[in-house]
Amino acid sequence: MPDIGALPGFYRIAEAFPDRGAVIDQDGTVTTYGELLARVNQVSHGLRAEGLTRGDVVATVLPNGLDAVVTLMATGQLGLYHVPVNRCLTDAEIAYILADCDAGIVVADRERPVAGSLHDVAALAEGRPATAPGDRSAGSVMWYTSGTTGFPKGVQRPLPDATPEEIVPPVTWFLGETCDLRPGDGVHLVTAPMHHASPCAHTMSALHLGHTLVVAPAFDPATVLELVDRHRVTNSMMVPTMFHRLLRLPEETRRSHDLSSLRQVIHTGAACPVAVKKAMMDWWGPVLYEYYGSTETAIAFAVRPRDWLERPGTVGRPAPGVEARILGPGGEELPAGEPGMIHVRSGLGSFRYRGGPERTAPGTRGGWYAPGDIGYLDEDGFLFLCDRRTDLIVSGGVNVYPAEVEAALLEHPAVADVAVIGVPDEEWGHSVVALVQPVPGGGPSAEELLEHLGPRLARFKHPRVIEFRDDLPRAPTGKLSRSRLREEYLAGG
């Protein structure tokens, strides 16, 4: 029997270890690697029978589960672009993405019907051979950006001129270098919707590493602890909002599960307040790995737990193959410690937004891409984020970073969630406004929260208005659209 670490990814691992557990679905059903590969091959033949050829697009509107995994791995060996679509979007929003990506077919389930050339996984697989298709080539996932600053855009990279097996070694090496993930007997817990870039990428990577996938139906903090305990989960990918909810569990619940199997819990998607991350590591141990990037750049910076504990708040150094610099308003490179616009150049090579070069140009500068964030590098090259440029509040000529104010407010035990926005002010240019969601049964006063901020933030950063809300909407990735909340706040007077 060959060493699993020497095998180049899912397709070869499945041939060598067909009885190995591949996917544990929401109802507890276990699908082996052999069974999964057979289904993947059947769907691959089904897609070919629909006339799809290299470079065509398959869009999926599917919940987390086996069908989503099968379609992901089938397109990955046919040289197709795979566009996973959020099934919670409105019909109009889904229709926009399907038209924009020129989907050849749409794979969906009956619970979320959408317009288009519809297929389901069972129909594509029915009557097809379980053997590998001929003329295999690596596909690519084309994720659509969240669209918080406009309509969603598909991030499209050139298809690799390689087989699926040939592209795996660099990917698994990179994951080892950034997250200490290795091939072998790992168990990966899927906690977030797979239509988002990071959960989807980690799902695919886990299979290439030979790990077992445990698919959670949706994020629930108590369920996550139970799944980690029951399946001896070794790694997962989460977002900071999940940490905040986990920390709000009763102490009895937190202590009732054995979490000692965890080795890597990778988080990304939004800034994580220092106090929240410290509290999680006090509970789970030094297992929190972090990376910063975007759909366009993938992983640009990464930090291991020990490095973060030495430099709380950093999102790490540039990942292998990534260059970084901080630029001022005139495009000048800034020295260590001085905040400016983050620019990165990735070893992944060029990308374009689906629809033409004119959609790609605004965020690029001579091969460098600006994710739209403000940050600074310390003397050792570790990046510290300040905020989104679009969310920066200039009050009285002074910069106020909403993420910094939010992090301080979240340290108050009665605050469940918070969004800080800037609103026009005749005297100050903009005023700082905090929209606070209290914990159930909480109910802090504005005066109490301002007193809490006293030793934590300079006075000019304090909110001039604190308003309490029953709920603050977030995307499943944990992202909070301050621009949308600002519009709603101003519309409400």
CA-CA distance, 44 to 71, in Å (whole number)? 8
From 331, 354, 377, the end of a domain falls on 377
Residue 382 belongs to a domain: no
Q: How many residues does the chain have?
A: 493
What is the model's pLDDT at position 273? 84
Residue 1 belongs to a domain: no
For the chain, percent of residues with pLDDT exceeding 90: 64
Q: Are residues 362 and 401 in the same domain?
A: no
Strands 235-238 and 264-267: parallel
Q: What is the pTM of this model?
A: 0.82
Residue 480 belongs to a domain: yes
Nearest Cα to Cα of residue 301 among 330, 277, 266: 266
Enter the tokens of residue 19.
């009885």
Range of the domain at 193: 7-377
Enter the tokens of residue 1.
């029997």
Using the predicted structure, report yes or no on whether residue 13 has a pLDDT greater than 50. yes
What is the model's pLDDT at position 348? 66
**What is the number of other CB atoms lying within 10 angstroms of the CB of residue 4?**
18
Residue 21 belongs to a domain: yes
Q: Are residues 418 and 373 in the same domain?
A: no
Q: Are residues 25 and 85 in the same domain?
A: yes
Using the predicted structure, report yes or no on whether residue 148 has a pLDDT greater than 50. no
Q: Are residues 370 and 422 in the same domain?
A: no
What CATH number is attached to the domain comprising 238?
Answer: 3.40.50.12780
* Reduced 3-state DSSP string for 65-119: CHHHHHHHHHHCCECCEEEECCCCCCHHHHHHHHHHCCCCEEEECCCCCCCCCEE
Using the predicted structure, report yes or no on whether residue 147 has a pLDDT greater than 50. no
Write out pLDDT tens, residues 271-290.
788 988 999 999 999 999 99
Enter the tokens of residue 416.
């469940």
From 342, 377, 412, the end of a domain falls on 377
Listing DSSP states for 224-245 in one string gives HHHHHHHHT--EEEE-HHHHHH
Q: Which residues of 112-136 are buried (b: 16+ CB within 10 A; e: fewer)?
A: eebebeebebeebbeebeeeebeeb
Residue 383 belongs to a domain: no
Q: Are residues 348 and 412 in the same domain?
A: no
Q: How many domains does the chain have?
A: 2
- Token pair 């029997």 is found at 1
* Reduced 3-state DSSP string for 347-364: CCCCCEECCCHHHCHHHE
Q: Are residues 362 and 452 in the same domain?
A: no
Q: CB of 282 within 8 A of CB of 276? A: no
Residue 124 belongs to a domain: yes
Q: Are residues 325 and 399 in the same domain?
A: no
**What is the number of other CB atoms lying within 10 angstroms of the CB of residue 443?**
10
Q: Are residues 313 and 164 in the same domain?
A: yes
Strands 352-353 and 364-365: unpaired
CA-CA distance, 205 to 298, in Å (whole number)? 14
Using alpha carbons only, give the angle 160, 163, 108 rounded to the nearest 5 degrees. 80
Sequence-separated (6 or more) residues with CB below 8 Å from residue 119:
46, 50, 105, 106, 107, 108
Q: Once rounded to an integer, what is the mean pLDDT over residues 238-257?
A: 92
Residue 385 belongs to a domain: no
Q: Are residues 445 and 323 in the same domain?
A: no
Write out pLDDT tens, residues 324-381.
999 998 889 999 999 999 999 987 666 788 876 555 545 566 678 888 888 999 999 9
Residue 61 belongs to a domain: yes
What is the model's pLDDT at position 26? 83
CA-CA distance, 42 to 49, in Å (whole number)? 11
Q: Are residues 365 and 404 in the same domain?
A: no
Max CA separation in the chain (angstroms): 74
Q: Are residues 447 and 309 in the same domain?
A: no
Residue 427 pLDDT class (50, 70, 90 cuts): low
From 377, 405, 437, the end of a domain falls on 377
Using the predicted structure, report yes or no on whether residue 149 has a pLDDT greater than 50. no
Q: Is 395 helix (H, G, I), strand (E, B) or coil?
A: strand
Q: Are residues 205 and 278 in the same domain?
A: yes
Write out pLDDT tens, residues 371-418.
888 899 999 999 999 876 778 787 866 778 888 899 899 999 999 999
